[in-house]
């Protein structure tokens, strides 16, 4: 029996104590699946939460984590779209932090030639979230003001990059000077501001008192509360997640009086509910990446044996963009 190395969540724990690098049988693709040699697996905050049972999706134990990766097709047991040797991006709830993975054919898309494997692994989830938020749910119009919270994180940094590509005026918010400097250097948003309390005054000053037309919020908590005080009339407050831990609440009278909308964003669910639009979403992201108009930032590349360091860096909020594990490097 052929085997492979993989990171496996064997039990849930708050300290990664239930996660181990182990040897597993190499997957055998079923009909309609594609076997991929995984060259890079990108980590997002949900991957960390799943090791604790803190994410809304709770895979059955044991499981191989990793929601997105990139690699080379070894075998395709489906239609004629994919062939052995194709460079691809893969996506799903789990399975990417391994040397090989079997993925549903519809979850495998071509890797744009401009991107290397690590950049390709970091593209899909973050940029699809940003696309669904800004284009589908937020109905962004070029020239509008976009306020991005948590702008150094994976989904936040993608929103900064995509926002610039869409012609929005971007205000990026980050908690440390090092993060603000990195964001400014990478994507040159129109403004980069401190993420501490009091950003309301900065946003209103930047927008000449108007406020932000779109607020992209993966943080929640106090950030959400203060965002309601610096959003423009007819603005859209895009709820991405709750990295701060507290799920905020709002009185309906506030939205009524200030004339803004609170809009929930679930990119994966959007694609499942509207499959045709979901396919258009990923095609749009691949096209922008292929044209060089967006480029995912890879914070660090870790060998498979360094998986715990990659997770801890994410836990300590030291990652700008995405960290990537390289399964065939030990």
What are the domain boundaries of the chain? 3-123+296-326, 126-269
Q: In the predicted model, what is the mean pLDDT of the chain?
A: 95
Bridging pattern class, strands 19-25 and 100-104: unpaired
Q: Report the run of H or E that residue 89 belongs to, with start and end.
A: strand 87-91
CA atoms of 98 and 83, how far apart (whole Å): 21
Question: Which among 212, 202, 219, 205 has a CA at the least distance from the CA of 151?
Answer: 219
For residue 330, pLDDT beyond 90: no
Express each pLDDT in 216-270 by its tens digit: 999 999 999 999 999 999 999 999 999 888 999 999 999 999 999 999 999 999 9
CA angle 140, 142, 147 (to 5 degrees): 60
Express each pLDDT in 45-69 by its tens digit: 899 999 999 888 899 999 999 999 9
Q: Tell me the mean pLDDT in the region 81-103.
A: 95
The domain made up of 3-123+296-326 has a fold known as: Quinone Oxidoreductase; Chain A, domain 1 (3.90.180)
- What proportion of the chain, given as a percentage, has pLDDT over 70? 100
The pLDDT value given to residue 308: 97
Express each pLDDT in 275-319 by its tens digit: 999 999 999 999 999 999 999 999 999 999 999 999 999 999 899
What is the pTM (predicted TM-score) of this model?
A: 0.94
CA atoms of 243 and 67, how far apart (whole Å): 18
The pLDDT value given to residue 306: 98
The pLDDT value given to residue 55: 87
The pLDDT value given to residue 56: 84
Return the CATH number of the domain spanning residue range 126-269.
Answer: 3.40.50.720
The pLDDT value given to residue 310: 97
Q: How many CB atoms lie within 10 A of CB 322?
A: 29
- What is the token pair recorded at 292? 């060089």
**89 neighbors 68 (Cβ within 8 angstroms):** yes
The pLDDT value given to residue 22: 97
Q: How many CA atoms lie within 13 A of 142 on its CB side?
A: 4
CA atoms of 41 and 22, how far apart (whole Å): 16
- What proportion of the chain, given as a percentage, has pLDDT over 90? 91
pLDDT band, residue 35 (cuts 50/70/90)? very high
The pLDDT value given to residue 195: 78
The pLDDT value given to residue 250: 94
For residue 129, pLDDT beyond 90: yes
CA atoms of 176 and 42, how far apart (whole Å): 23
Express each pLDDT in 184-208 by its tens digit: 999 999 999 997 768 999 999 999 9
Q: How many contiguous H segments (helices) and E segments (strands) does the chain have?
A: 11, 15
């Amino acid at each position: 029996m052929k085997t492979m190395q993989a990171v496996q969540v064997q039990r849930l724990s708050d300290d990664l104590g239930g996660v181990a690098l182990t040897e597993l049988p190499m997957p055998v693709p079923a009909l309609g699946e594609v076997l991929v040699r995984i060259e890079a697996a990108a980590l997002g905050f949900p991957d960390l939460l799943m090791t604790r049972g803190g994410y809304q999706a709770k895979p059955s134990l044991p499981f191989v984590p990793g929601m997105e990766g990139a690699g080379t097709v070894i075998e395709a047991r489906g239609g004629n779209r994919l062939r052995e040797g194709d460079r691809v991006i893969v996506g799903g709830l789990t399975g990417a932090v391994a040397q090989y993975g079997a993925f549903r054919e519809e979850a495998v898309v071509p890797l744009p030639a401009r991107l290397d494997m690590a950049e390709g692994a970091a593209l899909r989830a973050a940029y699809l979230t940003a696309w669904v938020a800004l284009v589908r749910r937020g109905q962004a119009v070029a020239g509008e003001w976009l306020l991005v919270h948590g702008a150094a994180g994976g989904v936040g940094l993608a929103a900064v990059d995509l926002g610039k590509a869409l012609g929005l005026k971007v205000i990026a918010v980050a908690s440390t000077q090092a993060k603000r400097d990195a964001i400014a250097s990478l994507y040159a948003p129109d403004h980069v501001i401190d993420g501490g309390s009091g950003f309301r005054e900065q946003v209103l000053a930047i927008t000449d008192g108007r406020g932000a037309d779109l607020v992209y919020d993966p943080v929640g908590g106090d950030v959400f509360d203060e965002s309601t005080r610096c959003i423009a009339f007819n603005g859209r407050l895009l709820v991405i997640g709750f990295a701060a831990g507290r799920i905020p609440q709002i009185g309906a009278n506030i939205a009524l009086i200030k004339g803004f909308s609170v809009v929930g964003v679930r990119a994966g669910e959007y694609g499942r509910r509207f499959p045709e639009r979901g396919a258009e979403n990923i095609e749009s992201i691949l096209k922008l990446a292929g044209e060089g108009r967006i480029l995912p930032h890879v914070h660090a590349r870790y060998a498979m044996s360094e998986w715990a360091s990659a997770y801890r860096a994410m836990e300590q909020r030291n990652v700008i963009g995405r960290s990537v594990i390289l399964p065939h490097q030990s």
